[in-house]
Structure 1
Amino acid sequence: MTLRSAIWLPLFDELADPAAVARLAAEAEEAGWHGLFVWDQLRWRAPVRAVADPWITLAAVATVTERLALGPMVTPIPRRRPAKLARETATLDLLSGGRLIFGAGLGSDRFAEEFSRTGEELDDRVRARMLDEGLAVLAAAWTGETVEHRGEHYVVDGISFLPAPARPGGVPVWIAGMPGKVAPMRRAARHDGFFPVNLDHADQLAESLATIQGLRAEAGSDGPFDVAVGLELGTDPAPYVAAGATWWLPEFEPGVVTVDQVRGVIHDGPAAG
């Protein structure tokens, strides 16, 4: 499978300007990149001061591009309302002509204290249930049919989420998770892609994908399945491609990233292959 490349941006400080990110997205498309993904954060630790909203930024990106895949990488569903998220995702998929990819995960309080500082759920096990329930609400909403959902955490009582996304079946979902953790791999196997975080080496990726592929085979899933890897700038993606990666996302250091640095990476071009 051909490797695709995406710019992956923390929307901090200089990149907290949606117009600046939109300009970078247009340049990335012109330079042959295949996607542009953004962090979904409410805040970040010092020295970061300014933080942009991912959905407003992605809407700006959608209006100035025609081919780039785009999306949040990743949205922590447990600190969002799934009904509102259903509206946002369907609208953005329509606006972009069916280019949205939805990265979803558990979220963490470790790096930015987003959950503790806003009164959100801190227990990982509870957030895992919220994540799965939220994904179920989204899947039902994206059909355009009337949603009747009464779960442990969310209620949707007789609402149809029209207009539906541009693509029948809804928006592709990539699940984020630590390599080796069984629950995220099981979750990924039920969806359209896997985004392993904090990879140390390609062998971790190969081991995780072997598990996911086995789970997909057991479930009879044979549709397209993407694997996106975020790698430090300068890291050779070839070993990860050999292990099964289909997308390469060069990482930018959140506290120091600048528009000029991103522009330089864009004009270096996507990875070969």
Structure 2
Amino acid sequence: MTARRGLFVAPFDALADPRVVGDLAVAAEAAGWDGFFVWDHLQYGDRVREIADPWTCCAVVAARTERLVLGPMVTPLPRRRPQVLARQAASLAVLSGGRFVLGLGIGDDWVGEFGGYGDETDAKVRGRMLDEGLTVLTGLLSGEPVDHEGAHYTARGAAFRPAPTVPIWLAGRYGNRAPLRRAARHDGFFVIGLDGPNDVDRVEQQLAAHEPAPGFDLVVDLRPEQDPAPWLDRGASWVLTRIGPYDLDLDDVRRLVEAGP
């Protein structure tokens, strides 16, 4: 099966305007891209001055396109409340007509994105928060009653509607086993930091040991200058082209998008 092609867009600086992001998504759909995914960050170091909210961007993309798969890639669940996230995800699934994918991970505190706001800085604790948060989140998205009292989250007698289908992709760095195991229990694995196309085969073998469900997505991303050809038809279901994070020039981005996959 030939991999689908998407854009992995940092809504930073020249792209830190949801209207601009919406224009790019419209151009991407016209050019034949299959997906449009936006980064979720509060800050990104000294070289990035302006950042747009990914949820606002996703809403604009959902409203202005008809075919593109879209979503935040990825949202750190440990800095969010799963019940609020469930409402946001369900609404975007409805708004997009079922094209929304929820990308989740533990996040990274390398620029103080957690510690600077009093959020959890220990990666192992964030991993436990992610696992528990997924239990609450998926329960609420199912539309069934949820009663949960845990170390980090509580949901008493909650039952959310609407309950559209929301695929969940989990992100993790290549070689880390915990994210891969976690992803195999859901709908996809966005693997970060692959050295070359042969690594896709290794990830596939590791995933197979955990028996993911049929239709499971394996997602990789490349820099714009990387040739996608060696990565296609290697088992990955999505090959994304990264836009950002630094020195974004809107005209250059438009040319890349309009050139198509």
The normalised TM-score by structure 2 is 0.96
Is contact 1:16–1:51 with CA below 8 Å preserved after alignment? yes
Match of 2:202 in 1: 207
Counterparts of 1:233-244 in structure 2 under 5 Å?
Answer: 233-244=224-235
Query: How many pairs are equivalent?
Result: 261
- CA offset at residue 242 of structure 1? 4.1
Unaligned runs of 5+ in 1: none
Letter of the aligned partner of 1:238 in structure 2?
A: A
Q: Which letter maps to 2:230?
A: P
2:205 and 2:229 map into 1 onto residues whose CA distance is 18
1:31 is aligned to 31
Aligned sequence identity (%): 49
- Name the residue aligned to 1:192: 187
Contact 1:180–1:204 (CA<8 Å) still a contact in 2? no
1:115-126 equivalent positions in 2, closer than 5 A: 115-126=114-125
Deviations 1:119-150 (A, max 9, x none): 11111111001011111111101111221111
What is the deviation of 1:204?
Answer: 2.3
Aligned to 2:115, the other structure's residue is in SS state coil
Unaligned runs of 5+ in 2: none
Residue pairs, 1:101-120, within 5 angstroms: 101-110=101-110, 112-120=111-119
Residue aligning to 2:163: 164
| 1:74 alignment partner in structure 2 | 74
Q: Deviations over 1:23-63 (max 9, x none)?
A: 11011111111110000001111221111111111101111
CA distance in 1, matches of 2:138, 2:18: 28
Residues 2, 233 of structure 2: 8 Å contact kept: no
Q: Note the 1:227-266 alignment, pairs <5 A.
A: 227-266=218-257
The answer for the alignment partner of 1:137 in structure 2 is: 136
Letter in 2 for 1:77: L
State the alpha-carbon separation in 2 of the partners of residues 249 and 173 from structure 1. 17
* Residue of structure 1 in register with 2:178 after alignment: 183
Range that drifts further, 35-44 or 234-243: 234-243
Query: How far is 1:238 from its partner?
Result: 2.8
Distance (Å, rounded) in 1 between the aligned partners of 2:213 and 2:80: 31
The alignment yields a C-alpha RMSD, in angstroms, of 1.2
Letter in structure 2 aligned against 1:22: G
Deviation at 1:195, TM superposition (A): 0.7
Rounded to whole Å, the distance in 1 between the matches of 2:48 and 2:89 is 27
